[in-house]
């Protein structure tokens, strides 16, 4: 049976580990009424999704535990509009790829996909009603406000395309058309969220709440980006590639700022470890199905001899001090700042944890031929040689009297009645 918890406890579960909450009182009001809030999280299928996606997908497990009704939007129209990151002919393939990868990641995290509503933007964003609302927005939104709203999300270029100005308005309208009480995303979406809060009421629609995750820096210290292969790890990267990328990652001894490995441990590895520990104790609250059909090993990232309360273990050879068991991220960060935790040991621990997370995803991909075909269609190799066939020459005989082997006509032969240009008889040798 589902565990009964108070509205306040449900709200704490919904908002834990978030960086910012806008309009949280409206969520509290829904919970006080004993109802389940509705949320939507969207992803535009442009570049290849990377392990940074573990951050929002792990948080969705909290939502389901709290009884939130979650919609996952595959924003195919948005993908095309964002400065042609995904040309129209590739959007369909990339959307299918995202569906495969995200559903598999959910399963690997033990999140029951039958409790999620999965929807494509094009299924409703091309309707008469939606487009009429878009035109209404265009009639009241200034160019300045549209550009400002999309500044952190839509690719900024000189002489920007009109499509990028439409992007924030469409994302705002999605809240109404998906029937959500709050939208969930990264803190980089904040300006679009504020835009939605301002403009939806001007169309006569309700103002929604907005929940934001922190952004995880890339391996080099900057933003983790799909367009920069050196800043992130792909879900399908093989173990040796993961090892190489982690080895090259920026991780200066004692430096806890812009440290992508520490940040990933904080935002992904420790929360997943905690989820697994809680699940092992049966603490999944409203989500009784969590972990029932999970892909891969569901062991938390702790040692066999770890004391109670440990959420992450750094394994070390006894001659170097043996394992370190951490009860929180703050303890790990403090040890790293004081140089008690060496970058090499942190890299090994993060590498092994990431590979254990990716193992079931890679296995699922390798066993699915349709997914493999979609991957090639969605992200064709730009360096692949063109498969053009050589043009086959077809011999066409020249018309009578034409051609390079034709000899001048013999007047005597002409007198004998032979046609002009007829070939001479071969001479005897």
pLDDT on residue 417: 46
3-class secondary-structure state, position 406: coil
The string of pLDDT tens digits covering residues 252-288 is 999 998 899 999 999 999 999 999 999 999 989 888 8
Torsion of CA 251, 252, 254, 258, to 10 degrees: -60
Give yes or no for a contact between 380 and 374, defined as CB atoms under 8 angstroms apart: no
DSSP 223: B
Measured N-to-C along each axis, helices 343-366 and 369-378 cross at an angle, to the nearest 10 degrees, of 110
For the residues 162-179, what does the mean pLDDT come to?
94
Domain 7-378, CATH among 3.40.50.620, 3.40.50.1370, 3.40.50.10800, 3.40.1160.10: 3.40.50.620
Kindly report the number of other CB atoms within 10 A of residue 290's CB atom. 22
Q: Name the CA radius of gyration of the chain, rounded.
A: 31
Of the listed ranges 107-116, 271-280, 399-408, the least confidently predicted one is 399-408
196/182 Cα distance (integer angstroms): 11
The string of pLDDT tens digits covering residues 197-223 is 999 999 999 999 999 999 888 887 666
* CA dist list (Å): 414 to 410, 411, 421: 6, 5, 9
Kindly report the number of other CB atoms within 10 A of residue 126's CB atom. 10
């Amino acid at each position: 049976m589902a565990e009964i918890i108070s509205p306040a406890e449900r709200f704490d579960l919904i908002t834990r580990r978030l960086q910012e909450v806008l309009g949280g009182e409206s969520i509290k009001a829904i919970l006080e009424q004993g109802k389940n809030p509705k949320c939507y999280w969207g992803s535009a299928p442009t570049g290849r999704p990377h392990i940074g996606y573990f951050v929002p997908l792990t948080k969705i497990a909290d939502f389901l535990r709290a009884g939130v009704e979650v919609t996952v939007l595959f924003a195919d129209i948005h993908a095309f509009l964002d400065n042609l990151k995904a040309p129209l002919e590739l959007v369909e393939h990339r959307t299918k790829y995202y569906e495969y990868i995200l559903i598999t990641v959910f399963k690997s995290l033990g999140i029951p996909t039958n409790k999620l509503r999965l929807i494509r933007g094009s299924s409703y964003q091309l309707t008469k009603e939606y487009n009429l609302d878009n035109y209404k927005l265009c009639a009241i939104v200034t160019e300045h406000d549209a550009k400002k709203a999309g500044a952190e999300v839509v690719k900024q270029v000189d002489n920007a395309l009109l499509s990028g100005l439409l992007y924030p308005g469409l994302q705002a309208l999605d809240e109404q058309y998906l029937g959500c009480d709050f939208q969930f995303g990264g803190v980089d979406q904040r300006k679009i969220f504020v835009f939605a809060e301002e403009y939806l009421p001007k169309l006569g629609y309700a103002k929604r709440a907005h929940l934001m995750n922190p952004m995880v820096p890339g391996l080099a210290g900057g933003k983790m980006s799909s367009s920069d292969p050196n800043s992130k790890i792909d879900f399908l990267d093989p173990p040796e590639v993961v090892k190489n990328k982690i080895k090259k990652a920026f991780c200066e001894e004692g430096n806890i700022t812009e440290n992508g490995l520490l940040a990933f441990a904080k935002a992904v590895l420790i929360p997943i470890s905690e989820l697994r520990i809680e699940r092992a104790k049966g603490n999944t609250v409203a989500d009784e199905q969590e972990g029932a059909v999970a892909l891969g090993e569901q062991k938390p990232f702790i040692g066999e001899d770890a004391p109670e309360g440990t959420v992450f273990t750094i394994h070390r050879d006894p001659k170097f001090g043996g394992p370190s068991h951490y009860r929180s991220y703050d303890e790990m960060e403090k040890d790293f700042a004081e140089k008690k935790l060496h970058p090499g040991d942190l890299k090994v621990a993060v590498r092994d944890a990431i590979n254990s997370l990716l193992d079931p995803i890679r296995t699922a991909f390798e066993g699915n031929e349709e997914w493999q075909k979609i991957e090639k269609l969605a992200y064709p190799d730009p360096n692949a040689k063109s498969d053009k066939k050589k043009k086959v020459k077809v011999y066409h005989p020249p018309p009578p009297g034409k051609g390079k082997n034709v000899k001048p006509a013999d007047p005597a032969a002409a007198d004998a009645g032979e046609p002009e240009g007829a070939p001479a008889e071969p001479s005897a040798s």
